[in-house]
Chain A
Amino acid sequence: MDGEVVVHAENVTKSFGSVPVLKGVSLEVRRGEVLCLMGSSGSGKSTFLRCINRLETISSGDLYVCGEPPGYRVSGSRHYELSEREIARQRMRVGMVFQHFNLFRNKTALENVMEGPVQVKHIDRSEAKRHALELLTSVGLGARALAYPNQLSGGQQQRVAIARALAMDPELILFDEPTSALDPELVGEVLAVMRKLAHRGLTMIVVTHEISFAREVADNVAFLDDGKVIEMGPPRDVLWNPRQHRTKEFLSRILADDRAGLPVDTDGTAG
């Protein structure tokens, strides 16, 4: 990995009131890299993800996204708080895909994808529409462009949401458990789209429980436990030969739940 650093986190902490959620997260994501964040619920994965585009603010530590701390302007040794407009400008560079899709319910699939480019980037409507249709086609939904979200299946909605994030041409896309709210038979279609994006070299941070996806697509896996990264590295280390007891425990639990999925095969351990 030698691309430029897109996300740099050092000792990031976050508390909700007196409850600490992140207790010092340090990690780095470089351009073109796919990082999977894994860990049991409550370990702080989603909170960390939301700090990256300032849906949450961090309590202490250093966090840089595309060279800037979210929500601040650095001048000398001081951080100056940014206005909402400037924070919005920072967020434009970071796409986000949510667990519950969060498509704009009063807009069609096409309008959902066009909304950002037209309203935020002020791109010409016809140009934005052409690009949006292209994106919808690339996620396999060109024919459903005029459907409203409630007329689409969960998997289709999530693919529209991915197209919506792509439409802003972001430097980084955050995926917050993108398949957790889907029926099992719809998970595959969403993962297929994400796999395609990874192969195209998009920088992605994915909070997921899909171990087979992480094994196949991730460049790095960070395993969070109790607000800290306890193990990080390529999947062949973290997912095939975990060193930490907590990681082993978590993986065996997930794989046991996932009986229909991959067997805990041995051929990977060689790689």
Chain B
Amino acid sequence: MVQTVSNSNAASVGHSVVRRKHVGRWILTIICLVLLSMLVHALIVNDRFGWSTVADQFFSSFILKGVGMTLVLTSLSMAIGIVLGVVLALMRMAEHNYLVAALAGGYIWFFRGTPLLVQLIFWYNIATLYPRLSIGIPYGPEFVSANANTLVTPVMAAVFGLGLNEAAYMAEIVRGGLLSVDRGQVEAALAVGMTPSKTMRRVVLPQAMRVIIPPTGNSVIGMLKFSALASVISVAELLDSAQLIYARTFETIPLLVVASLWYLVLSSAFSVGQYYIERHFGRGTSSSSGVSASLGRRVARVLGFGRRTGLQAA
């Protein structure tokens, strides 16, 4: 079949244009459709997925509590990671104090260089290293002191373990963002009479955010999933809750499906949030893509379906 077109869209007006047939594309499409139907079929036909159990357990109070704990772990440890990460980035960029920069460098070296799982177990067992924790003057009197075993709960060990580890990565993300801001912006701010700290807050950080946000969004989604490691130190988060249920009922696969679906729901929600934050900090840049696209198409793009353009990182 030869299709002829002779409308005004054709490259040369007045000539009939013979479109190429793209046989390869059609074959690829058919292969993909067959594979997709096989996948769907396999999911439906195999009753060992236990879809009815999945439906029953999806909103069970036990699972919902686990979801809640996962969200608490993610948000608290991300908060620690971001705040400490900014501090570490600023320390590492200290031009006039080599010791401060080296300290930050050492922290990043250590926490990036050891496995997160090891760090979590370490914090969990901190009481065997320091049975008593106290606040006071260095090498001087103590003001407050407490038993490490009662002070450091599993949740606290998980939050600190995840947060301190994340800080090392956030420090590098923030540093990259700060370095991306043109030196001229700083000079312009100083020239109108801003102090260096105000220059940082009013001019550099807001512009660095455009570069910082996309990888931070990745970090949040990463943290959501890394928080599953806390199940190892018996924190009742999402995976731990699912494990506790299937340890009793032996419905291993259905409950892992429940947990996975929840992780997907949460990470999708974070991605959508990230899109709007990115758009906010993108003011003054020409990449206004997506503003005119339909909501459905925008959500699809944010979640990684559909065609990718520009900065989408999630």
* Residues of A in contact with B (beta carbons under 8 Å apart): 53, 55, 84-85, 88-89, 91-92, 94-96, 98, 100, 102-108, 115-116, 119-121, 148-150, 161, 164-165, 168
Contacts and interface: CB of A to CB of B under 8 A. Distances in A.
B296 to A, nearest CB: 29
B188 A150 contact: no
B192 A55 contact: no
Contacts of A105: 185, 207, 284-285
B283 A116 contact: no
A94 B188 CA distance: 12
B198 interface: yes
Interface in B76-102: none
B155 to A, nearest CB: 38
B193 A88 contact: yes
B195 interface: yes
Most chain A CB atoms below 10 A, which of B193, B196, B202, B210? B193
A149 B202 contact: no
Contacts of B187: 55, 96, 98, 102
Contact of B191 (A89, A96, A106, A121): A96
B190 A55 contact: yes
A106 B188 contact: no
Given A89-B193, A115-B202, A119-B198, A149 B188 contact: no
23 contacts: A55-B187, A55-B190, A85-B195, A91-B190, A91-B191, A92-B192, A96-B191, A98-B184, A103-B188, A104-B185, A104-B203, A105-B284, A105-B285, A106-B210, A106-B283, A107-B284, A115-B202, A148-B283, A148-B284, A149-B284, A164-B192, A168-B192, A168-B193
B311 to A, nearest CB: 16
A123 to B, nearest CB: 12
B284 A88 contact: no
Given A55-B187, A98-B187, A119 B194 contact: yes
B189 interface: yes
A128 to B, nearest CB: 12
A88 B188 contact: no
Contacts of B195: 84-85, 88
A116 B202 CA distance: 11
A139 B286 CA distance: 25
Of B197, B207, B284, chain A has the most CB atoms within 10 Å of the CB of B284
Nearest to A113: B192
